[in-house]
Every structure is written in structure tokens, then in C-alpha cells.
Structure 1
């Protein structure tokens, strides 16, 4: 089905960005008021979190070797310049791994915990008046589509991450501007991934949700960047993931022009 075209809000971009970040806090509030779902929501993220923490710790252990591997041209440089370029290379490797790690963690966790996160999203929609235009999508078909769309998003983000990785070698810029751009890129793809459940519930796929979220990009980025930064905090991804699913449901409803106010 074709996505409806909605006019972009007239408020300022900064206000909308902050409003998007606020959706994560609202999602947290909606989530914690469902005690029965809290533990179930954390379990899938905890399973994925243990795996990804182990992988990231392994990367940090070998980061010096990887930095040397991608900078063979510096072997004959003076020790000072060789050390500087390899520190920059190490930071670039960690930055790229962080970007891809957050997105891959989200994709894996959503796949592992699909029934739990679907229930959280449904509970949020019930409190906001239900799901207009809901369609009956079989579980396995929904899971297959979710995995395919997630793989597509991770692949696209990897292509975007390569130029950021290269830019990470630029002194000063690579350690200041590039992380900000990385957070914005990661936040955008993260938001696209997290809103999958409410859009699938309406029979809408990745192209539709991308089009709708673009109509209010600052709000989408505000939400996505807030989640992205929380996911970078140790154990943040495990604790925030269920609230991010709830907040993403609010974001999806707002992008569709549907109520995000709880009914009495």
C-alpha cells in the first residue's frame, strides 16, 4: 500500500529534534507501567547483549593489531607519526564497529525477541486507542520480512560507514565531526529499524516507513540519536531496548498522523 503523504510540522527543527528524543522518555514511561512485560522485554536484549559485549571486548583487545593492519603505509614513518596515524586508525575502527554493532545488535535482538517486542508495541497502541488499519500478518511471514529489511538496513549503513571510517583518519575532524555524523546516521537507521513492528501491523514495509519518517526527519533523528547514545552506554542497550520499542511505536503513530495521547 502507498504511504500517505503528511505535511511536515511547522515548528523549528531543534524543537522537533528534542521532541523526538522525548519520545524515548515517554516510551520508557509507558513500558514501566506494564510490569508483566518488563522482564520479558529485557531477556532478549540481555542474550544479545552478552554476545555483542564479548565481540566488542575482543575487538578492543586486537584493535592495535587491526590499526597496524589497515595502515601498512606507515611502517617506515617516524615513531611519532606512525603512532598518531595508528591511534586515529584505531579510533576509526572502534567507531565503525560501534555504528555497525548498535544496528546489528538491534536487528538481532528484534529477531530474537520478536514476540515480546510485538506485545510491548501492541500494548502501547491499545493505550493510545488501538491500531487503525491493522492487518493480520502470520508470525513467520512477519519475522522473515523483518529480518530481510534489517539486513538491508545494516548493509546500507555499512556502505555509509565506509566513508566515515576513512574520514576518521583526518586529524581533529575524525575525532570530532565524524562521531557526530556517525550518531546522526546511526540514529536514522536505528529509528527505521525500531518502527518496523507498528508498520508491519498495518501492512507497510520499509519503503513506506522510510517515506513517512522523512516527512519529519528532525523528530526521527531526535528519537534515533537518543536511542543510539543510550545503546553506547554499557548495559544501556539491554535496559533501554524495550523502552525504545515503545517509543518507536509513538514515533510510528505520530508519523502516520495518529493519536499519541493515552485514552482515559
Structure 2
């Protein structure tokens, strides 16, 4: 397996390890509490409809592909989980964005031994909520463009639709969590995307594992702060110097 595909999961693993650092525990706790509250509400709404949604997804299968239903049923479950968990992550990231940025900032200061220019307190992070919402909306617009292309491709090669949606969501997870430290340094969203793309293998494998983590109960509650830590590590080690290190 190419080294780049192995390095992405390592960043998430190291992100989990960094959650225990005494200096950043408070900044981990805030997004974690937001995650728990949103996940509890979304799980309650989803469980009552899960079987119905699975039936509807299978119902989209053309009659001539009916013999593949046994194979597509588990793929439909993967697709539905990917969509629901990405929706959950989107809401959680939208609300927790200022705190995720603060977590990325404190961790970068710990890793580099120097203050991030324009560093924020918790009060300042709350005050920057409108700007954070604007950044998250730009990500949603970027996601919408990819979603339209993926939807078109899903109609053309419907058996592979779940895998296409998972791959798209994995890429968005990489952009989402690597963007927080870059936003702290006031890099434009287009520049942030360019730097993430400069490490395609590492970024995609990192995002894919984050996406899988959002689909696992309990793990999905702590995946957000761990992914912020992993994305910040990628920023410090691979993306900070203009993304010159190629995956």
C-alpha cells in the first residue's frame, strides 16, 4: 500500500492520543458536549425511519438489476449511514466551529511552541461565530457541487453509488478537519482546498477513516475533536509550508 494511504490513518490515531493532553482537555470537552447533544437528538429521529429509508433506496433499483438486491442491500445501508452521519457531522461542525478552531489553535501552539497570530479566547471564539458560520457555508456550497456530480454519476453507474457517496464524503471530511488550523491563519478556502489536494493520498485516507468513525456508535461522539487534532497535525507537518510535500 502506498505510504500516503497509510499516513492518513496515522494522523487520526495520533489525534486520538492528543485528546489526553492536559493543556487542551477543556477545548476537547466543549465540542464533545455539542456532539453528544446533537447525536442524541438525531439518533432518536433516525432510528424510527431507518427501515423505511432502506426500503426506499432499494426501491430505486431498476427491475433488470433485481437479481443484485442481495448485494445492494448492505451497500444501501452504508450509503444511508454515510448520508446520516455526514448530516450529523455537518450540524455538529456548524455549531462547534468556533470551538474546533480554538482547539486547533491551542494544539498548534503546543506542537510548535509558539503562539498563533491572532490567538483567541473562548469569549472571542464565541464572538467570531458569524465568521465561522460563513466559512462552514462555503464548505457546504463546495459539498453541494460535488453532491450534484455524484448524484448524476449514481444514476449512470447505480451499483457503485454507495461507494461514490462514501468517497465524496471522505474527501469532504478531510477538507473539513484540515481547514480549522488553516482558517486560524486566515488562509482562503480555495487555498485550503489546494493544500489538502496537494496531499491527495494522505488526505483521502484520513477523511475515509474519519468517515468510518462517524458510522461507529460511541466512536462517533469523540471523532470530531480527534479529527480536529489529526487535521492540525497534518497542517503542522505537511500543509503549513505551502503544501510542498507531495503525497
So what's the TM-score if we normalise by structure 2? 0.78
Residue 187 of structure 1 and its aligned partner are, at CA, apart by 1.6
Rg larger for: 1
Determine if the alignment matches structure 1 residue 203 to structure 2 residue 186: yes
User: For structure 2, which runs of at least 5 residues remain unmatched after alignment?
Assistant: 243-247
CA distance in 1, matches of 2:134, 2:223: 24
Q: Tell me if the contact between 2:11 and 2:230 (Cα under 8 Å) persists in the aligned partners.
A: yes
Match of 1:3 in 2: none
2:11 corresponds to which of 23, 27, 39: 23
Residue 243 of structure 1 and its aligned partner are, at CA, apart by 0.7
2:137 corresponds to which of 124, 134, 148: 148
Match of 1:41 in 2: 31
User: For structure 1, which runs of at least 5 residues remain unmatched after alignment?
Assistant: 1-12, 259-264
Q: Tell me if the contact between 1:187 and 1:225 (Cα under 8 Å) persists in the aligned partners.
A: yes
Cα RMSD, aligned residues only:
3.1
Q: Tell me if the contact between 1:67 and 1:86 (Cα under 8 Å) persists in the aligned partners.
A: no
CA distance in 1, matches of 2:2, 2:239: 17
Of 230-239 and 147-156, the range deviating more from structure 2 = 147-156
Match of 2:208 in 1: 225
Residue 62 of structure 1 and its aligned partner are, at CA, apart by 0.5
What secondary structure, in the 3-state scheme, does the structure 1 residue paired with 2:141 have?
helix
What secondary structure, in the 3-state scheme, does the structure 2 residue paired with 1:245 have?
helix
Q: Deviations over 1:237-258 (max 9, x none)?
A: 2122111111111122321229
CA distance in 2, matches of 1:14, 1:56: 38
CA distance in 1, matches of 2:97, 2:58: 40
Q: Tell me if the contact between 1:23 and 1:247 (Cα under 8 Å) persists in the aligned partners.
A: yes
Structure 1 residues 131, 21: CA separation in 2 closer, same or farther (over 3 Å shift)? Answer: farther
Residue 45 of structure 1 and its aligned partner are, at CA, apart by 1.0
